[in-house]
A and B are shown apart, each in its own frame.
Chain A
């Protein structure tokens, strides 16, 4: 297996792009990543996306985006794993290059959500869950996370207020990210007063939807220097699954797929959680941030909110998370989110994170979650320059 590095990154702002369609958004990010890498062709293109069929009436994104981007020579395919689609697409590109079958592979995540902000979007998002045994009962995607959060608060004697720090940290960091959908800090009072969507999840526990696209270019590490002085090495890559539905989990309060994929990634990278300098986790809801920290080895069971309470998740803390705003403030363009996380991690490791730049960041981890925990993709990246 060959060692693999990221040699180019690109993204569009996450937000409402009334004037840009799916293919335009994908091309904007992809072209930016190719310019950044200085490549004009690719052997393969992997398109991460969840909702194009439901929202845009468009399937078959591999061919659509490759053709639109002038990449007819490349093999191209869409990768779908609900909200984990983009990191899953990245992993396919990684496997392509690591295997030796492809020298230049591009992963782009793209989502167009604002063309339908009503029932089609709600139904589309819910389709990540079990249609016959969860969704049929009037369970929205928010409600599934709410069931987990309510039980979590009960078992671990945690209050809703204890989750506020996740949202406050994300929004504070989002201020410094020009690509974030929301660039305003929020107060504890605003968090506590926010309207309930599905108890105990309020509006400020939840990440906002957005349109957006993000992309990276990969090549073998031994060739990376031909393209850039700023390569970021893929030190660990893993994807794990758990039951699709929450009710089939052995323990609904434990993200088994996060533990499994994180442990595999740690092993491949030869590191442990104590070596990770920052963590771009999947804070679609505040409860997911807590569960992700616990299953990935940063906090004990039921103690994810303690890390947040003690300030350890801020840029000055032991394990900074959501350093560019996370899903909560940057926005959550579902099938693109995993590549936003990876692009943001690469920015930190390249020293290009602007107002959010961490000092001496050498190892960064990303974790992208599909559904309520069914598909979880964990990556570890290393600064090499």
Chain B
């Protein structure tokens, strides 16, 4: 396994399933996982917590000058999503027109291609968020 692939492979539980942690001491739910709880500094082993993937748009920005490797979708909209369990998460929005995005909009996680990196064209998949489908 090349070091570049390892860097992404070890993040698969987060990228594909939003696996974070819940502090056994204060109950704080965190994404991504941490070795020390930022709220109470507890550093005992923290059990995994899988987030539902549902939340709402806390803030957003449409990017017109994308970084290298992200040009294909530009202009695209990135967002801070407030997960229903509490934490904020940074991600791209998808399946929505840039002009239709609003703060407070209900969104849900979906798995998509995020970028292609490096000379070998390493494709990285992971979470994006789309408008919640009406139940």
Task: Please name all residues of chain B whose beta carbon is closer than 8 Å to the beta carbon of A195 when the two chains form the complex.
Answer: 64
> SS class of chain B's interface: helix, strand, loop or mixed?
strand
Quick one: given A132-B11, A151-B103, A247-B87, are A140 and B67 in contact (CB under 8 Å)?
yes
Q: Are A137 and B91 in contact, with the CB atoms below 8 A?
A: yes
Cβ of A140: which chain B residues have Cβ within 8 Å of it? 63, 65-67
How many pairs of residues, A versus B, come closer than 8 Å at their CB atoms?
Answer: 101
* B-contacting 9-mer, from A32-40, A88-96, A142-150, A211-219: A142-150
Given known contacts A137-B92, A245-B90, A247-B88, is B78 in contact with A196 (CB within 8 Å)?
Answer: no
**A interface residues, how many (CB within 8 angstroms):** 35
Within 8 A of B (CB), among A16-68: none
Which chain B residues (61-97) contact chain A, with CB distance < 8 Å?
A: 61-70, 73, 76, 78-80, 87-92
Contact B90 A198 (CB under 8 A): no
Q: Which residues of B contact A118 (CB under 8 A)?
A: 68
Instruction: Please report the C-alpha to C-alpha distance between residue A133 and residue B70 in the assembled complex, in whole angstroms.
Output: 15
Q: Is the CB of B68 within 8 A of A119?
A: yes
B38 at the interface (CB under 8 A from A): yes
* Given A123-B67, A143-B78, A252-B80, A137-B114 contact (CB < 8 Å): yes
State whether A147 and B68 are in contact (beta carbons under 8 Å apart), knowing that A154-B103, A196-B62, A199-B61 are contacts in the complex: no
Tell me if A197 is interfacial: C-beta within 8 Å of chain B.
yes
Interface residues of A in 147-175 (CB under 8 A from B): 147-148, 150-151, 154
Contact with B along A238-281 (1 / 0, CB 8 A): 00000101111000100000000000000000000000000000
Can you list, as one digit per residue, whether each of A169-193 has a CB less than 8 Å from chain B (1) or not (0)? Answer: 0000000000000000000000000
Contact partner, B62, options A133, A137, A199, Cβ 8 Å:
A199
**Contact A243–B68 (Cβ < 8 Å):** no
Chain A residues within an 8 Å CB radius of B24? none
| Pair A147/B67 contact, Cβ less than 8 Å | no
Q: Is A1 an interface residue (CB 8 A)?
A: no
Complex Cα distance, B58 from A135, in Å, reads 18
A69 contacts B by Cβ under 8 Å = no
> How far is B103's CA from A252's CA once the two chains are assembled, in angstroms?
15
B64 touches A196 (CB 8 A): yes
Chain B residues within 8 Å of chain A by Cβ, number? 33
Chain B positions within 8 Å of A136 at CB level: 114-115, 124, 126
A224 to chain B, nearest CB (A): 42
| Contact residue among A138, A151, A201, A247 (Cβ-Cβ distance under 8 Å from B92) | A138
Query: B38, A147: Cβ atoms under 8 Å?
Result: no
Is the Cβ of A151 less than 8 Å from the Cβ of B59?
yes
Residue of A nearest to B79 (CB): A147
Q: Which residues of B contact A80 (CB under 8 A)?
A: none
Report how far A135 CA is from B126 CA in the complex, Å: 13
Query: Nearest residue in B to A201 (C-beta to C-beta)?
Result: B61
Is A198 in contact with B126, judged by CB distance below 8 angstroms? no
Collect the chain B residues with CB atoms within 8 Å of residue A133's CB.
14, 32, 89-90
Give the B-binding residues of A (Cβ under 8 A): 118-119, 122-123, 126, 132-140, 142-143, 146-148, 150-151, 154, 195-201, 243, 245-248, 252
Q: Which residues of B contact A122 (CB under 8 A)?
A: 65, 67-68
Residue in B closest to A200 when the chains form the complex, CB atoms: B61
* Cβ-defined contact, A150 with B88, below 8 A: no
B38 touches A246 (CB 8 A): no
CA distance A148 to B58 in the complex (A): 10
Q: List 30 A-B contacts (CB under 8 A).
A: A119-B67, A119-B68, A122-B67, A133-B90, A134-B90, A136-B114, A137-B92, A137-B126, A139-B63, A139-B78, A140-B66, A142-B63, A143-B63, A146-B61, A147-B60, A147-B78, A147-B79, A150-B60, A150-B61, A150-B103, A151-B103, A154-B59, A196-B64, A199-B62, A199-B64, A246-B88, A247-B80, A248-B88, A252-B58, A252-B80
Complex contact A142–B65 (CB within 8 A): yes
User: B38 near A248 (CB under 8 angstroms)?
Assistant: yes
A135 to B124, CA, bound (A): 13
B65 near A138 with CB under 8 A, answer no
State which residues 38-63 of B face A: CB under 8 Å: 38, 58-63
Q: Which residue of B lies closest to A133 (CB)?
A: B32
Contacts of A135 in B (CB 8 A): 67
Residue of chain A at shortest CB distance from B34: A248
Bound Cα distance from A119 to B70, whole angstroms: 11
Q: How far is the CA of A154 from the CA of B103 in the complex (A)?
A: 8
Interchain nearest-CB distance for B82 vs A (Å): 9
